[in-house]
Structure 1
Amino acid sequence: MSAVAESDRPSAGLLSLWYNREARQVIIQIFTIAVVFAAIFYLARNAAINLERIGKDLGFAFLLEPSSYDINQTFIEYSSRSSHLRAAVVGVLNTFAVAICGVFLATVVGFVLGVLRLSKNLLMNKMVYCYVEAVRNVPVLLWILLMHGFVVHTLPHPKQAGDIAETFFFSNRGINMPSPTFEPLFWASALVFIAGIVGAVVYKRHAKKVQDETGKILPVLWVSLGLVIGAPLVVFLITGMPIEWSIPELKGFNFKGGVTVKPELMALTLALALYTSAFIAEIVRAGIMAVNYGQTEAAHALGLRNNRTLQLVVIPQALRVIVPPLTSQYLNLTKNSSLAIAIGYMDVTATLGGITLNQTGREMECMLLLMAIYLSISLAISSFMNWYNKRIKLIER
């Protein structure tokens, strides 16, 4: 009997671990991690075997080879003799341009539409409702194609281009605008500008601390403007305005000089921004409705007008509801920019995941790099929005 009892002890000990809640959770997590790593190892080994069978090895030396293709929109110097790596960098910058401009425009339009969606004016309310429902229920690719056709066929030819002060020109070739050329002494103005931003932030915190302790209100706005704009402007004038402008001029059938914003960039940014703004409008509407109406009544009782009530009372509280789903819309807009290839805009998907992949035959490496780039951009956006969400959350006392 004693021998049998001793042989049963190990199984009883394992069962006691399994019936222990904390131990069971640890065991399940270890098992899950082991399965995930086993799956990753299997996929990596399978890919390596398949590459070996077709005579390919995994390497990234192809990034240093000449790209041998042109890109229509570039923010840095690039030619067909540049490397695939530089082409990929140009594509990433083009993706950033669409993401940044699109997020800004979509946020502004979405917030305005979200507020108007709650307007007591019946006509305005229904017009915004029709816009939201019409835009968000049509695939975004169709909006991109439609906006591209609208931009290309509506704007005039270069010889009939519209202009602003003969400096900015609008045509179906894009928007031509002056481009700056910085001289060596310009770094002084840039340095003072950066120092001014830091000084404005420090002064604002100091002013808030003084107001909390003494109730005295310091002139934050004027001091900040002096530090951020006034001081750099003085340094800029003292150093002899070390900047020159290249003004676009019509030569032949197109403009020369300056910088050009291609119609593909304009169309893609507008389409993604307007499409995303419809979703943001509903998020803003839901966030405002989540704020108890008693807050609005209390603000009115204190004598605040409707616009000040919305600005100072409702929106700050609604942001706690708005920001989390807003993050998803920013991520969707950034990832939807990969549809740019449909209208010939050369973003990172079209360069690294398109022409570079086809020319080099390095599909595995290109896809891995492309996934890593989009993952990094998405994690950066999520981290910033999570930080902002924690900053505005309610703090219990």
Structure 2
Amino acid sequence: MTLRIGIDAHVLAGKMQGSRTWLVNIVARAVSRHPDATYVIYSDDPVRAAAAIAGANVEHRRLPRVPRSVRLLAVWPWLVHRDRIDALVTTYIAPPLVPGARQAVVVHDILFETHPAFFTWRMRWRNRLLTRLSARRARLVVTISGYSRDAIAKTYRIDPARIAEVRCGTAPPPTGGMGAGLIPDSRPYLLMVGRLEPRKNLALALDAFARLPAGGSRLIVVGRADGERPETLARLTAMADVVHVAAIDDRGLGDLYAHAAALVFPSAGEGWGIPVLESLALGTPVIASNVTAIPEAGGEAASYFDPAAPDRTERLADLMRAAVEGRLPFDAGLARAHVARHDWDGPAAAFVDAMRRAFPARDPAPAALPGLLRPQ
């Protein structure tokens, strides 16, 4: 009988972030690779979700608009029963009253465990308790990088055979949206992309940029404020030659990537680093921190620095200066080869393989889960 897989897609109506990008690209590709399963997509807006994820084996359902606690404790058990769901895929926090043998939980990273200073105490302790419980109960844990896979296995004492690594990918971002027109002159510019929060290290980027020769280049920062310190946002607005773009469409962002002297990605911690791959896909050099999963996203094609080193500001400023002067080492062929190994099709196939292994069709009591190999 056909396996019925429920997908919690409530993030489709939330803020733009990596978890949303991953879900859309993985599930939209997985459905055609998994014709022997029916995917039931639960979202706040089924019409919008259907535009992103479609197929002959896809059903869309509206999630009831109730408090999160009610959804976890009551709605999900009811939906699993009503819609005859064999495997429910949720993100970070899984419903505790749905049997663990029927659950796969996606945990992009556990930075709230490894980098707690960047999270509020409420989020930190909620996730520590509920994500840990969810990961330990679920039959399958899915994560997006080798770094996160190892951290989850070690911190939560989970058998690595229960953790499937389904990485992020990329496709060359579209161009032609006149994003480069944001720059009123021909001076080279550096680009920083991502939500504005302390973990992204905007303050460090501003400190380093301030050490470059005045008037010789610009720094464009793309992203909405999301918990960033007020003093850092004030500097972002006040600094000469710094442009803040709160929002831009995909084509405009593609233009900014394509014409930048380099992408600057100084984050203190990431589960992956999608802007790194997007920049490389358009042949633009990348300056990135060398911590957590970021080197997996950039491979050997990026230039790295240590964001915790005593000389981090000087080192980042040196790399920025080299980029705007055209001296930053960059092998375009190496970048193309790295990007070619990280499309979305491979991770989608890995997701389907992991689901098939963990949830054999209509097996109410699956046998011990065989090992899930890390992608090469």
With the shorter chain as reference, the TM-score category is under 0.3
Higher strand share: 2
Judging by fraction of residues, say which structure has more helix. Answer: 1
Mark the structure with the bigger radius of gyration: 1
TM-score for the superposition, normalised by structure 2: 0.23
TM-score by length of 1: 0.22
